[in-house]
Amino acid sequence: MQTEPCQTRQPSWLRTILIGRNPRRTLIRIVVIVVTCFLLRAFVVIPIRVSGPSMLPTYRAGSVNFVNRLAYLRQEPQRGDVVAIRLAGESVMFMKRVIGLPGETVSFSRGRFLINGRPLDEPYVKFACHWDFVPDSSKLSDDEYYVVGDNRTMPPTDHTQGGAKRERIVGKVLR
């Protein structure tokens, strides 16, 4: 009686590339990756699309950026941070720069932003500005930040700006 050698069937190279040598391990990896991506998207980072020219030239209109929701768990927003501010619902947000901190008095004079009467150095403002006004509530409350876009060539009436309550600030925009 002749015995035939036991032949183990090797998976084809295409199958090996697509699902690996161990399909169970590959399935576990896929599930872990999908769950991790879902958790990151739901609780840590959210995408935000820039709509309009108010953040030019720092952020282009139509570009997609990500907001780190965990950035302000242990610290408060700092002057110069670009933040996402929730307006209504989960998806309507503004992307603006924090320039005034709680308790400060803010105004614009001859194109310069003044904090408590002193001009603020703003290297991110690349275009000449001719704003000259005092916001409606020039003294910020204890939980309010003054936010404005980087493109100051637009008339102040066309610019969404002003005080933003701390609870509306979703997180810091990742650069």
Q: Which of 12, 51, 96, 165 is catalytic?
A: 96
Q: Which helix (H) or strand (E) holds 14?
A: helix 13-19
SS3 (DSSP) at 127: coil
Q: Which of 12, 51, 54, 126 is catalytic?
A: 54
Q: How many CB atoms are located within 10 Å of the residue 141 CB? A: 12
Q: List the beta bridge partners of residue 58.
A: none
| 168 backbone dihedrals φ, ψ, rounded to 5° | -85, -15
Residue 24 sits at the vertex; the CA angle it makes with 19 and 28, to the nearest 5 degrees, is: 90
**Catalytic residue status for 54:** yes
Q: Which residues are catalytic?
A: 54, 96
